[in-house]
Amino acid sequence: MLTAIRRFFECRGVIEVQTPLLMPCTVTEPMIDSIEVPGYGWLQVSPEYPMKRLLAAGSGAIYQLGPVFRDGERGRWHNPEFTLLEWYRPGFDDRALMAELADLVNELLGTVDYHDQAYGALVPATLEGDAADLAYADACSRLSGRVFVTHFPKSQASLAQLHADGETAARFELIVDGIEIANGYLETGNPDELLARFEADNRRRRTLGKRELVIDQEFLSAMAAGIPKVSGVAVGVDRLFMLQQRLAHMDAALTFRI
């Protein structure tokens, strides 16, 4: 599978990069817990920030395939260390990247039809916060086939641009037979908007009783220097492998398990 993924991107002229697994800062996302290495920094939950710094430096289309780490994630579909594929396509909007993601998944799992489903059709508008997250996870677990969930509310925008309506984000997730496989978006590179979102993350972390995190100023400086119009997506490779091989538990997909 790793060879097939690399061949897919080589044929499309997307360059493989390697960014640090250990960095001084980590993401502020309230629902993701990073693993700290005292005296050194944090194991990365995603190569997103350093890859976007490469984009700002003029890298062009790039991908990374390798391990990432998240604290407290263990179960049938989770492990604290897992393999993530992440790629960025300058000049692509979210729809173009969704099409390329579908091409990759078709190559790995076989070709079938895809369907779109708006977030608002899965989660009642009256729900917010944890209640909305739980409702969304439950709704996704009931989806069959390959479904792109789109038009997330701005409260769930992550680092995506907002649509012209100002209320929904150019963010998507790919759900395959009830399992989240990928999360992507048309990126916002506005440093002021990003800073506001990071600060909002830290406020929510406080309400959840979690530690506030230092905001990555080098990342914001790179965004201030400017990135092209670009869309990016992250894909859980272990989950794809489980689906391809019809494995029932993450234990069976990993050569070594923590």
- 153-168 average pLDDT score: 94
pLDDT confidence of residue 257: 76
Q: What would the pLDDT profile of 43-70 be if each residue is shown by its tens digit? A: 999 999 999 999 999 999 999 999 999 9
Containing 150, the helix (H) or strand (E) segment is strand 146-150
Work out the pLDDT band at 256, boundaries 50, 70, 90: confident
How high is the pLDDT of residue 74? 86
For 55, 62, 136, 180, the CA distances from 174, given in Å and listed in that order, are 24, 20, 13, 6
- H/E element, 140: helix 129-141
Separation of alpha carbons 212 and 200, rounded Å: 11
Q: What is the pLDDT of residues 209-238, one digit of tens each?
A: 999 999 999 999 999 999 999 999 999 999
> What is the structure's pLDDT at 53?
98
Give this prediction's pTM.
Answer: 0.95
Enumerate domains of the chain plus CATH numbers. Answer: 2-252 (3.30.930.10)
> Which secondary-structure segment (H or E) carries 16?
strand 15-16
CA 73 – CA 8 distance, rounded (Å)? 29
